[in-house]
Amino acid sequence: MSKFVDRPRYLCALSGAIGTINALPGGVPILHAAAGCGGNIGNALNAGAGYLGSGYCSGQSLPSSNVYENEIVFGGELRLQEQVENTLKVIDGELYFVVTGCMVEMIGDDTNSVVKKFKNHDKPVLSAETGGFKGNSYKGYDIILETLFREFVKKTDEKNSKVVNLWGIVPVQDVFWKGNIKILKTLIEKLGYKVNTFFGDGETLDNLRDSGEAILNIVVSDIYGIEPAKVFEEEHNVPYISVQFPIGTYATEDFINAIADRLGIDKKFTDKLIYDEKKQFYSYFERLADIYNDIDLQRYAVIVGEVNYAQALTKFLADDLGWLPELVVITDLLNDTDGYKDIIKSRFTNYISEFTPNVVFDTDTSSVKKHLNKIWKQNDGSKYYDGFNPAFILGSAFERDLADDLGVPHLSVTYPISNRIVLDRAYAGFNGALSLTEDILSVLVNGR
Amino acid sequence: MDYIREKAPPVREDRLKACNAFGGSCCELGNQSKKGCLNGIKRTFAQTQGCQLNLSLAILNTLRDVVIVVHAPIGCGGSSVAVAGISKGFKRLRDPYAKGLIWLNTNLDEADVINGGEEKLREAVLFAENEFRPSAIVVANSCAPAIIGDDVDGVLSQLQSQITAKIVPVHCEGFKTKIMASAYDAVYHGILRNLLRKDDDEENKIIEDDLELIKEQYRVSRTVNILNVSSMSIFDEKELRKTLEGLGLKVNFLPCYSHPDDFERVEEAALNVSICATHDDYFVEHLKEKYGIPFVLRSIPIGIKNTNKWILDVAKFFRIDEEAQRYIDSETRELEKAIEPFKKVLEGKTAFLAGGEMRVLGTADVLHSLGIKVLGMKGYHYDKFGDDLLDELPENEKVIFNVATGQPFEQANLLESLKPDIYVGHIGGNGWAAKHGVPVFPIFGQAVNYMGYGGVYEIARRLARLIRNPIFNKNLSNYTKLPYFDKWYKEDPFKYIDDSFLKN
């Protein structure tokens, strides 16, 4: 049985669905839900995701059936039909997507049947059940992708050997999603492939519609987007590979090698690419030789956040930056039975630096300090005490309180990020690692 | 008014016949409102809005030394991330040791909506008690447990005997009302039932002698509770406090940023003073019923005229209206002179306003005194408390009033035809107005003074600054598109408001 969460770092499936549809070019969500669902979600998506804003048709503009007591008693299907009809008259979209909240599912509204009546509209109108009790934001992302793959992506037997699809970076939950997608797409393009990312710069709905021609789906996660990848394989006969979200030279090298292996790319070609990228990376990174060593910029670190970032940040800190990321708290809603926890734990082993972090799964914000107290001996009043300093916390805006308590600096890089403005910043790959280094070390030299 | 024995308050549709869908002139709105026939109008196309739970949290999140338990599936209360970062700072303006915002979500999942969520609620409350030892644990109930029939009050009253924190259930299930402002009643209801001194409480003050007793009675007889709102700032509080203390009164602020224990002393005042009738009527009526404390519930101290009235209402009660009038005369003289330079640049401009009913109407008065012409207004809801302000509005037959919680599509249509020089609006709607290219002035801010005489000066000063360089939003409008078909702008902005039931 799941339990309560102390300050959750995600919302519900409906929220994930809305964030995902908004990230599609011309995507218009239509909520079949109680009135407050969209209001709550709009505020969270904006403030939690580095001030993402209301986008094309999110925030207060979200079309919504706003069901009340009357519909809860008598059913909301008529109200939904009216709402969809009128949305199609007022809101200019490329793809309309009806998503449901808890209430209409609990009263048994048949949303899909209502939406089917609009199948002849000149723009597609899809629907999915995304009631909040079904899971968190990541679940909503998966549900939307699965629906798109089943109902929107065109079936084709003709595959294009130079096209791949990439997903697994969840819009909003990865606050830097757009920049990250851009970086990973560019890297794979350097391998000679066209990459559909659905949510990145320059994407069109046609790219998504035609994505069935790809020869490989690249899921940049151990858990997010995996179920949709299975659906894609079943529907369109395209296999998938799961790779870890990469930050830094070692992780990105692994990322490129894993994909290149799978695509059967000549090893010499990828070695050259990686060599060039690393050389470029170090042409900047070498600037740190002085300041890092002059003022001793090595730190202990605590990392708090979702699976994708937790493993990427930790590996980057340990293997590229030479830090000591002692504690990693993974805050996803995971159960013990699906086997994911073992896979995830294995991502924190075999570091080049031979460093081994302590990894725990815990959804609660108040737990981070408790875990730190468990792994790091408290001062018992000794004159000589090997304290947890100098240290640094990489987490969300929630970790600022912990940072204040411990008297250590902090940078928000995982959701929610309410204390930074994020536009096209990215932390993925080689280039992203440079930005991350800038952001972390800038905190440390801020007072100089 | 006495609903306190009920577990939950009535919703505002029933209690106040409040409405959230109307389009027409201010004059028509006033007439309809007085006939009591606004309630029941609906929209056939709607955009999302907040619910009672969202707005309840806006108040509850300000309380100090409290843990909030949102009994709901994992998404509800997620918008608290918008205030989690600033909450501690604002609380520390009142108490330097205040903690930041802590909330738990009971994470009801598929199994719970079948089997019930009472056990998770119990665990969450016990965790809140053991982990954080707060003075109060507020449980905000959401739609899902209400539908599955969780006995929230039963679980909580059982738990109350096991823990020291005072448990405050707040019944703010979103689907129950279209009127977000029902949240005010839901929160006050929880406070009234659980945080006030209980009738059978031992009097815990020890009065040593008659002189002290007389002193204490005198203190209470000169004390007012000002009921603050979460959209106001510490600077607003300072401004209002300064005014009333200048008249020799003692001032407490409730409920926002209060400590739960503060409510035990709510009865130690001679008068409850509201600054927003639609925010407070439920609370002050009940306090009158319970303790016999009279109240002032009329005007919002935004704008010179409204501030004057607000001060005089209080002063009359204490029979110090002559002193107050002298104070008002001297303050307004000084203020009129101070805003003169800003009037020169603002005179003749036009504006559209959006926000809470009282704040919008109050701000319209400020703009009017600066020589700005109000073309239209949007109120998040409408009830009888706006009637007086609406009547006093100059040329109110020409000014458009749109009652809409959010609904930026109606606003987009209005802005395109009215083309105001300035938009004054509410969080959530400001970004949409910006994309029309119009300079935007936020109608509230927790870091600025908006109320009282100082507020008028600040509003004038900031408006004059804002129009000096409005290019940011102009640029935005050139490169962004609003999500509406072009044909929408040619239609009746209130086309999707269905008032057919009025005509029957």
Of A2, A39, A418, which is closest to B81 when you measure between CB atoms? A418
Token output for B378: 């949007």
- CA atoms of B73 and A33, how far apart (whole Å): 14
Of the pLDDT bands very low, low, confident and very high (cuts 50, 70, 90), residue B504 is low
Residues B466/B474, Cβ–Cβ less than 8 Å: no
CB contacts of A136 in chain B (<8 Å) are 74-75
> Which of A238, A219, A227 shows the shortest CA–CA distance to A163?
A238
Q: Using CB atoms within 10 A of its CB, is residue B153 exposed (0-12), middle (13-18) or buried (19+)?
A: middle
Question: CB neighbours of B226 closer than 8 A, spacing ≥ 6?
Answer: B237, B240, B241, B244, B251, B252, B253, B254, B273, B275
Token output for A168: 């697994």
Q: How far is CA A62 from CA A443, B23, B49, in A?
A: 37, 21, 9
> Which of B421, B424, B444, B426 shows the shortest CA–CA distance to B347?
B421
- CA atoms of B17 and B386, how far apart (whole Å): 13
Q: What is the mean pLDDT of chain B?
A: 94
Q: What is the pLDDT of residue B321?
A: 94
Please report, as a single letter, which amino acid is at residue B499.
Answer: D
Judged by average pLDDT, the poorest of A355-359, A405-409, B32-36, B234-238 is: B32-36
Residues A20/A49, Cβ–Cβ less than 8 Å: no
Judge: B48–A38 Cβ closer than 8 Å, yes or no.
yes
Q: Which residues of chain A fall below pLDDT 70?
A: 1
Judge: A35–B51 Cβ closer than 8 Å, yes or no.
yes
Q: What is the pLDDT of residue B454?
A: 97
Judged by average pLDDT, the poorest of A377-391, B321-335, B363-377 is: A377-391
Q: What is the pLDDT of residue B206?
A: 65
- CA atoms of B183 and A408, how far apart (whole Å): 39
- CA atoms of A107 and A73, how far apart (whole Å): 8
Q: What is the pLDDT of residue B205?
A: 61
What domains are there in chain A, each with its CATH number? 13-149 (3.40.50.1980), 163-279 (3.40.50.1980), 287-445 (3.40.50.1980)
Q: What is the pLDDT of residue A380?
A: 86
What domains are there in chain B, each with its CATH number? 19-45+206-504 (3.40.50.12380), 52-171 (3.40.50.1980)
Token output for B448: 């600025």
Residue carrying the six token digits 């069109």: A204
Kindly report the nearest CA distance between residue B369 and chain A, in angstroms: 31
What is the average per-residue pLDDT within B171-200? 93
pTM above 0.95, yes or no: yes
Of A86, A103, A131, which is closest to B496 when you measure between CB atoms? A86
Residues A145/A228, Cβ–Cβ less than 8 Å: yes
CB contacts of A400 in chain B (<8 Å) are 85
Kindly report the nearest CA distance between residue A147 and chain B, in angstroms: 20
Of A3, A54, A93, which is closest to B107 when you measure between CB atoms? A3
Please report, as a single letter, which amino acid is at residue B1.
Answer: M
Strand partners, A411: A394
Judge: A43–B177 Cβ closer than 8 Å, yes or no.
no
Judge: A34–B51 Cβ closer than 8 Å, yes or no.
yes
Q: What is the pLDDT of residue B202?
A: 55
Token output for B363: 């701000």
Residues B442/B425, Cβ–Cβ less than 8 Å: yes
Token output for B202: 């031992």
Q: How far is CA A143 from CA A80, A100, B261, in A?
A: 20, 12, 46
Kindly report the nearest CA distance between residue A79 and chain B, in angstroms: 8
What residue in A sits closest to B408 (Cα-Cα)? A61
Q: Using CB atoms within 10 A of its CB, is residue A23 exposed (0-12), middle (13-18) or buried (19+)?
A: buried
- CA atoms of B219 and B214, how far apart (whole Å): 8
Q: Using CB atoms within 10 A of its CB, is residue A287 exposed (0-12), middle (13-18) or buried (19+)?
A: exposed
CB contacts of A68 in chain B (<8 Å) are 175-178
Question: CB neighbours of B323 closer than 8 A, spacing ≥ 6?
Answer: B247, B315
Say if residue B207's pLDDT is above 70: no
Of B82, B147, B488, which is closest to A44 when you measure between CB atoms? B82
Question: CB neighbours of B264 closer than 8 A, spacing ≥ 6?
Answer: B195, B196, B197
> Which of B306, B53, B296, B316 shows the shortest CA–CA distance to B190?
B53
Of the pLDDT bands very low, low, confident and very high (cuts 50, 70, 90), residue B448 is very high
Question: Given 3-state DSSP classes, what are the helix, strand and coil percentages for chain B, each rounded to the nearest 5?
Answer: 50, 15, 35
Judge: B105–A8 Cβ closer than 8 Å, yes or no.
yes
Select from B39, B41, B42, B47 the residue whose CB has the most chain A CBs within 10 Å, as the one to mutate to test that interface: B47
CB contacts of A37 in chain B (<8 Å) are 48, 51, 75, 174
| DSSP-derived secondary structure letter, A303 | E
Question: CB neighbours of B233 closer than 8 A, spacing ≥ 6?
Answer: B445, B446, B447, B448, B449, B450
Say if residue B203's pLDDT is above 90: no
Q: What is the dihedral of CA B15, B16, B20, B24, to 10 degrees?
A: 150
Q: How many residues does chain A have?
A: 448
Judge: A82–B488 Cβ closer than 8 Å, yes or no.
no
Say if residue B199's pLDDT is above 80: no
Question: CB neighbours of B221 closer than 8 A, spacing ≥ 6?
Answer: B270
Q: Using CB atoms within 10 A of its CB, is residue B500 exposed (0-12), middle (13-18) or buried (19+)?
A: exposed
CB contacts of B112 in chain A (<8 Å) are 133
Q: Using CB atoms within 10 A of its CB, is residue A409 exposed (0-12), middle (13-18) or buried (19+)?
A: middle
CB contacts of B177 in chain A (<8 Å) are 68-69
What is the average per-residue pLDDT within B300-326? 96
CB contacts of B73 in chain A (<8 Å) are 12, 102, 131-133
Of the pLDDT bands very low, low, confident and very high (cuts 50, 70, 90), residue B184 is very high
Q: Which stretches of A101-193 are assigned E, i.e. beta strand?
A: 125-128, 163-167
Q: What is the pLDDT of residue B34?
A: 86
